[in-house]
Amino acid sequence: MADRESAHATRTERDSMGEMEVPADALWGASTERARRNFPVSGERFPRRFLWALGLVKRCAAATNAELGGLPPRLADAIQVAAREVEEGRHDAQFVVDVFQTGSGTSTNMNANEVIAHRARQLLGADAAPVHPNDHVNLGQSSNDVMPTVLHVATRQAIHEELVPALHRLHDTLVAKAHAFHDVLKIGRTHLMDATPLRLGQEIGGWARQVELGGLRAQAAAEGLAELALGGTAVGTGLNCPPGFAARTIARISEATGQAYREARDHFEAQGARDAAVEASGALKTVAVSLFKIANDVRLLASGPRCGLAELKLPEIQPGSSIMPGKVNPVICEAVTQVCAQVVGNDAAIAVAGLSGQLQLNVFIPLIARNLLESVRLLANVSNVFVEKCLDGLEADRARAEALVEGSLAMVTALVPAIGYDAAAALAKEAAATGRTVRALCLEKGVLPPEELARLLDPARQAGE
C-alpha cells in the first residue's frame, strides 16, 4: 500500500500561470505538466537524437553565459552537468510531452529547461538557491531560436553519422557485386520487355552509382543545416540575447560535434522559414526513390525460382508462406520498399509544414523534426539490413541468364546494320511465331555467313565492357 501511495505522490510546482501538481519524483515542472496534459495525441516523444542535440545546446549555452558573466560559475557548472546528462539519455523518461504539440516546440524546450533546472538544483544541494528554468537555463534563448537550432544540429549530425556511412557501405557492397558479376551476360529489359544484352555487373553498377549520388545529395543538403538560428530569440531581433552569445555558443557546438556550424546570416529567414529542412527532406526522398528502384529490381530479377526471371538468387532467410511449403519471399526487398514509401510520405508532410510558415515563425517544427529524423534513421537502418540480409548473399544464376539471352527476340537488333531494320523485324516476328531462336532461324535461312552471324550475335560484343 505504501508503494501504491508513493507512486501517486505529488508535489506542487509553479509557473507564470500558477500552481500545478506534478509527480513527486519527476524532474519536470508546471509548464511541462500543463503540456503533458494538453497534448495526449500520439504517445510519441521526440527521438533520442533530438534530445541529445537539445541537451548539447543547453550545455553550450550555459558555458557561454558563464563566460559572459550572465551565470555564476558554480550554477553554470551544475547546469552543464545536468544538460550533459540529458545529452547522454539519462533523463529521457523525463521528456513526457507528445511530439504533436505547440508548433514552436516551446513545450519541449520548457521540458528541457525544467528538467535541467531541477537536476542542477539536486547537484547543488538542498541549501542552494533555486535554479530557474527560464532565467538560468534558458538565458539568452527563446524556443523560437533554440528549437530550429536543435532541429538543424540533430538532423545534420544524423545524416553524417548514420545515413552517409550506411550509404557508403551499401555502395561498396554493390560495387563489389558489380565486379563479381561482370562476366555474367544477361538480357536487358525496357518497358519490362526484352531488350539488348548487357552485363549483370553493368546493371548492378548502375545501382551503385545511384547510391553514390544519393549520398552526395544528402551531404550537400546537410550543409544547408549548418546555419543555426541561435541568437534570434523571439522573432529574429535578438532581444535579450547578450552580444557574442550566439557566436560563442555555436563555436562550442561545432567543437562538440566535429562539424562546423555558423550563425544564421539572416535570423528572420532562420526563424520564419524551414527551407533548409525541406531541402534536406527532399534529398532523403531522392535516396528513398533510388533504394526503392534498386530493391524492386532485385526482387524482379530474383522472381521465381522457376516461373519468374530468376537471374538472381536471394539468400533464404525465413519461410515465405504460412500455407505454401518451401516458398521463400524477397522479404528484405519488401522492407526496403516500405521504408522508402514512409520516407516519401514524411517528405510530403514536411513540404506542407515548410509552406506553412507564417510571419516570423514556422509552427511545424516538431513535425518536421520527427519526420526528418525518422527518415534518416529508417534509411540508414534499412540500408544496413539490405546489405547484411540480402546483398551480401546475392548470387547470379549464370545458366539461366545465358539461356534467356539466347532465347530473346531482341538479339535481332545486332543484325540491323547488316540486313536492315525491316528484314530484322521480319526475322523477329517469325522467331516469335515459331518459338525458334533468332540464331537458329538465321542459320537455317543463311541470312549471313556463320562466322559473321556468330560475331554479330555474340552477347559479349553487344554488351561491351
* Matching residue, cell 552526395: 216
3-state secondary structure of 12: strand
One of 8, 16, 191, 322 is an active-site residue; which one?
191
- Burial of 44 (C-beta count, 10 Å sphere; 0-12/13-18/19+): exposed
CA neighbor of 439 nearest in space, from 454, 460, 425: 454
Place of cell 561491351: 464
Active-site pick, 104, 321, 383, 408: 321
CA dist 243 and 220 (Å) reads 31
| Torsion angle of C-alpha atoms 414, 415, 416, 418, degrees rounded to 10 | 130
HSE toward the beta carbon, residue 305, CA cutoff 13 A:
13
Task: State how beta strands 395-396 and 312-313 pair.
Answer: antiparallel
Distance CA 119, CA 108 (A): 16
Backbone φ and ψ of 378, nearest 5°: -65, -45
Alpha carbons 139 and 134: distance in angstroms, whole number: 6
Rounded to an integer, what distance in angstroms lies between the CA atom of residue 431 and that of residue 424?
A: 11
Indicate if 267 belongs to the active site. no
Contact 330, 302 (CB under 8 A): yes
Q: Catalytic residue at 91? A: no
Contacts of 453 (CB under 8 A, 6+ apart): 439, 442, 443, 447
Residues classed as catalytic:
191, 321
